[in-house]
Amino acid sequence: MNPRDLLRPRRRARLLAPLALLLAAACSSVPAPRLWVLTPAQPPAAGDRPVGAHLPSVIVEQARLPEYLDRPQMVTRTAANQLKSVETDQWAERLSTNIARTLARDLAAMVPADAGMEDSARAGLAVDYRVILALDAFELDASGAALLSGRWSIETGDGSKELAAANLALRETPTGPGMGAVADALSRDLASASRDIAQALRRLRASHS
C-alpha cells in the first residue's frame, strides 16, 4: 500500500474538524424559544362565592381546533390564505389543552363551579354539565387583532343532550408588540367566551333548582 494512502484519511479529518466546530457553534447559538400560556380572567372576590353551597360539577372537554393551530409554534395570519409559524415563540403545552384548562379555571371562579378537565382523577364522578368549545380561529389575524371564533355548547353530564349553545366572534387588540401581548389578547378573548358560558351555566342551574 502506498504510504500516501494512509495519510489521506488523517488529512481529511484535519480539514473537516474546523467545519464541525463551526457547525456546533452555530447550533448552540440558536436561542431557546420563548414559551407562553393563556392566563385565566381575574377571579371574583372571595365574598362572591357562596359558602357551604353545592357547586355544580362541570367537565370542560379538550378544545377542538384546526390542526394548523394545535401545534407548539404560535401562528399568525398574514393574508386570507397565508399563515406564519413563529418558531421563536411557542405555547408551553398543547394549545387545545391550555385553552380547556384556562376555560375550566375561569368557569370555576365565574359560575362558581367545580370545573375541570376530564382526567383519571375525575373518572367515575358524577358530572352535572359538559362544556365543549370548538374554535375555527384562535390567532392574530392579518389586521393585527387577536381573533377567537367558533361555537360553545353545554351538554348534560353524560353528553346525551345539548342544553345551550352559541356562536362566538371575538376580537381583542394586543396592548404592545411581541407575541406575549398576543397571548394576553387571546386570553382576554377566552375570558369573554368564559363569561358567556358561565352566564348560561348559571341560568341552567337556576332553572333546575
Greater pLDDT, 116 or 119: 116
User: Is the pLDDT assigned to residue 129 strictly greater than 50?
Assistant: yes
Query: How confident is the model over 194-206, as a mean pLDDT?
Result: 96
Closest by Cα among 199, 138, 134 to 170: 138
SS3 state of residue 180: helix
The pLDDT tens digits for 57-88 are 999 999 999 999 999 999 999 999 999 999 99
The rounded mean pLDDT for the chain is 87
Q: Which position has the higher pLDDT, 34 or 120?
A: 34
Contact 15, 22 (CB under 8 A): no
| Alpha-carbon gap, residue 14 to 26, rounded angstroms | 20
Angle at 162 between CA 48 and CA 132, to 5 degrees: 65
The fold of the 53-207 domain, in CATH, is: Rossmann fold (3.40.50)
Q: How far apart are CA 140 and CA 72, in angstroms?
A: 15
Share of residues in the chain with pLDDT > 90 (%): 73
For the chain, which residues make up each domain, given as ranges?
Answer: 1-30, 53-207
Whole-number pLDDT of residue 42: 73
pLDDT tens, 4-55? Answer: 554 455 655 565 556 555 555 445 566 899 999 999 997 655 555 555 568 9
Residue owning grid cell 380561529: 137
Q: What is the pTM (predicted TM-score) of this model?
A: 0.83
